[in-house]
Structure 1
Amino acid sequence: MKSLFDKIVHDEIESRIHKLSDTSIPVWGKMEVSQMFHHCQFPLKIVLKKEDPELKPNFFAKLFFKKAMYNDKPWRKNLPTHPKLKVENPKDFNTEKESLLELITEFSNQRDQKEWDPHPVFGKFTYEQWGKMQYKHLDHHLQQFNV
């Protein structure tokens, strides 16, 4: 599994984002591209302590889904989204794109930080798991828009 802490992977993700336009159509799901950009910011804001969506620890999620957050198995299409992380209102494409790119770079630039606070739902992740999880989430949604 690739990691967002890898500079080459960071550049790849940015390149894929730049291939999208405000008229990009999803292959699956209901989000428009600007909503997807906004949604993809949540996990980055959580780890960077820029937002607290008031998610609660969940033993069931930790037990059954934690490994799926960073393993090599792709997530299936149309996975349910936590209600607090859903984006239903229209968003501005350029604003959301720029915000996402800034967060990706900020996270990636912290590749030397080896200790991270626990995830509010899943608990402790290692350095490697954080990098893989962030990549996997972004990759899943970029695939949603066929890039």
Structure 2
Amino acid sequence: MEHSIFNHSTFVSINSRILELRPSAKRQWGKMNLVQMMRHLTIATGSGIRVYKLHDESSYLSRTFLKFLVLRLLRRLPHNAPAPKSFRTETKILLDFSAEKANVLNILELAYSSTQGIYLHPMFGKMNRNEWGTLVYRHFDHHLRQFGA
């Protein structure tokens, strides 16, 4: 079965990996530090469940080809893949580790328990439940691997 945030065992696995994160975790690639990455995941996931309203940055190409590539062809997101502008976290701001960890765990729980039929993504546009569940899993997995979790 495809990994999805709506699969209970996948949700538990991602949740456990977040709980294991420590402030000393070092990134393997990218520019964000650990706390910024957690804020990034909170905003990205929260936008899909309408906790945050983000600007539509999609194009026909991103809603069709890019979405197909990410969801159907790639098994993992590539390192240093560009994020929608609205998902980017300012790398010069200081954030609190404990607060951001609590926020990302909360948004993960909200995503897991969400029951929407349509989820919104700034680059991929409207996504059905299966698409969005897969994308959320891959996004979390990508960034948790980025920090060795």
TM-score in terms of structure 1 length:
0.89
Letter in 2 for 1:109: S
User: Aligned pair 1:54/2:58, yes or no?
Assistant: no
- RMSD of aligned Cα (Å): 1.6
Q: Check whether the contact 1:37–1:96 (CA below 8 A) recurs between aligned residues.
A: yes
Range with greater deviation from structure 2 (11-20 or 120-129)? 120-129
Alignment of 1:127-142 (within 5 A): 127-142=129-144
Q: Check whether the contact 1:69–1:136 (CA below 8 A) recurs between aligned residues.
A: no
State the Cα distance separating 1:61 from its structure 2 match: 1.3
Gaps of 5+ in 2: none
Partner of 2:124: 122
Letter in 2 for 1:122: F
Which of 91, 99, 105 does residue 101 from structure 1 map onto? 105
Partner of 1:28: 29
Letter in 1 for 2:26: I
Tell me, in whole angstroms, the C-alpha distance in 2 between the residues paired with 1:68 and 1:90. Answer: 34
State the Cα distance separating 1:121 from its structure 2 match: 2.9
Change in Cα spacing, 1:64 to 1:19, as seen in structure 2 (3 Å) is: same
Letter in 2 for 1:64: F
Provide Cα deviations, 1:76-117, integer angstroms capped at 9, x if missing partner.
Answer: 11112233321122211111110000010111012xx25124
Gaps of 5+ in 1: none
State the Cα distance separating 1:10 from its structure 2 match: 0.6
Tell me, in whole angstroms, the C-alpha distance in 1 between the residues paired with 2:120 and 2:25. Answer: 35
Q: Check whether the contact 1:4–1:132 (CA below 8 A) recurs between aligned residues.
A: yes
Tell me, in whole angstroms, the C-alpha distance in 2 between the residues paired with 1:61 and 1:82. Answer: 11
Tell me, in whole angstroms, the C-alpha distance in 1 between the residues paired with 2:140 and 2:105. Answer: 11
Partner of 1:90: 94
Flag the structure with higher strand content. Answer: 2
Letter in 1 for 2:87: L
TM-score in terms of structure 2 length:
0.88
Range with greater deviation from structure 2 (121-130 or 8-17)? 121-130
Change in Cα spacing, 1:82 to 1:121, as seen in structure 2 (3 Å) is: closer
